[in-house]
């Protein structure tokens, strides 16, 4: 049962432009959402998070937007840099602190 | 600060064989997680420990998978016997506590191929 979905398996963007990654969820009881970044042969690393009581959280070049009515969140990376090329996972927290992950979106930043 | 260590990094076995993975979490982290990541999917939690006690193993196929965390530090995950569908990356993660779920630090993973 996929409760967190990332429908775009890949995204290619020019360096300096905006990257927008999308994530949809089905469980309205999720109360915290996170984005993880993963380079090849490494484990995922925490990138940014947002509580369900907020609609926006910003950290440098990374901004996460949450639309609870649509059960949708997005990650914006502005401007995109070559080092941002990685797999990005969306995750959501259950009330028992477990995380459900999406399948990931592979971002390629072109020079 | 040393990160989460895992070994081996790669393992190839034949179906019906046994395999074990080892994880050493970040020092002082009470909570330890084992995830299975099948190609093209996100990580799926198999088992979560709080110190040396199991908090959640609802998605662990207990007929073939087992895990332990003796003394609340290192952990091992075992598969016996392995099936083709067990081919995946097995990720270990740790956090200071269960409440600090967002600060899960992941190891590099063990890539298992079952032939």
Sequence-distant (6+) residues with CB within 8 A of A33 are A23, A25, A49, A50, A52, A64, A66, A73, A90, A91, A92, A93
Q: What is the pLDDT of residues B47-83, one digit of tens each?
A: 999 998 999 999 999 999 999 998 889 999 999 999 9
Residue B103 has pLDDT above 90, yes or no: no
Closest partner residue to B98 (CB to CB) among A49, A97, A101 is A97
**How many C-beta atoms lie closer than 10 Å to residue A29's C-beta?**
10
Six token digits for residue A77: 């990376």
Q: Does A37 touch chain B (CB under 8 A)?
A: no
Look at A96 and B56 and tell me if their CB atoms are within 8 Å.
yes
d(CA A48, CA B62): 34
CA atoms within 13 A on the CB side of A67: 9
Residue B32 has pLDDT above 90, yes or no: yes
Look at B41 and A91 and tell me if their CB atoms are within 8 Å.
no
Look at B56 and A98 and tell me if their CB atoms are within 8 Å.
yes
Q: Does A23 touch chain B (CB under 8 A)?
A: no
Residue B97 has pLDDT above 80, yes or no: no
Q: Does A1 touch chain B (CB under 8 A)?
A: no
**CA-based angle B10:A88:B35, to the nearest 5?**
45
In this prediction, residue A94 carries a pLDDT of: 83
Q: What is the mean pLDDT of chain A?
A: 94
Higher pLDDT, A22 or A96: A22
Q: How far is A5 from chain B (nearest CA, A)?
A: 9
End-to-end Cα, chain A, rounded Å: 38
In this prediction, residue B101 carries a pLDDT of: 65
pLDDT band at A96 (very low <50, low <70, confident <90, very high): confident
**Torsion B68-B11-B46-B50 (CA) sign:** positive
Residue A8 has pLDDT above 90, yes or no: yes
d(CA A7, CA A57): 22
pLDDT band at B104 (very low <50, low <70, confident <90, very high): confident
**Mutation site, A8, A40, A43, A49, interface B, largest B CB count within 10 A:** A43
- The phi, psi pair for B88, rounded to 5°, reads -175, 175
In this prediction, residue A107 carries a pLDDT of: 98
Give the H or E element holding residue A106. strand A105-110
What is the mean pLDDT of the segment spanning A38-50? 93
Q: From its phi and psi, is residue A41 left (phi > 0), alpha (psi between -120 and 50) or beta? A: left
- The phi, psi pair for A107, rounded to 5°, reads -100, 130
């Amino acid at each position: 049962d996929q409760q967190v979905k990332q429908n775009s398996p890949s995204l290619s963007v020019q360096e300096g432009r905006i990257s927008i990654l999308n994530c949809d969820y089905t469980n309205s009881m999720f109360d915290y959402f996170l984005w993880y970044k993963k380079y090849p042969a490494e484990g995922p690393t925490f990138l940014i998070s947002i509580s369900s009581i907020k609609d926006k959280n910003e950290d440098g070049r990374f901004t996460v937007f949450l639309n609870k009515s649509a059960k949708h969140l997005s990650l914006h990376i502005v401007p995109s840099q070559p080092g941002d090329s990685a797999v990005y996972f969306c995750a959501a927290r259950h009330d028992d602190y477990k995380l459900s992950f999406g399948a990931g979106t592979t971002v390629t930043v072109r020079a | 600060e040393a990160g989460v260590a895992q070994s081996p990094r790669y393992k190839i076995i034949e179906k019906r064989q046994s395999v074990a993975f080892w994880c050493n979490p970040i020092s002082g982290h009470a909570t330890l997680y084992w995830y299975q990541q099948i190609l093209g999917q996100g990580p799926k939690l198999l088992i979560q420990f709080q110190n040396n006690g199991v908090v959640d193993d609802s998605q662990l196929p207990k007929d073939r998978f087992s895990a332990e965390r003796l003394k609340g530090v290192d952990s091992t995950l075992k598969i016996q016997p392995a099936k083709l569908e067990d081919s995946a990356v097995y990720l270990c993660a740790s956090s200071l506590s269960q409440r600090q779920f967002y600060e899960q630090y992941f190891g590099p993973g063990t890539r298992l191929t079952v032939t």
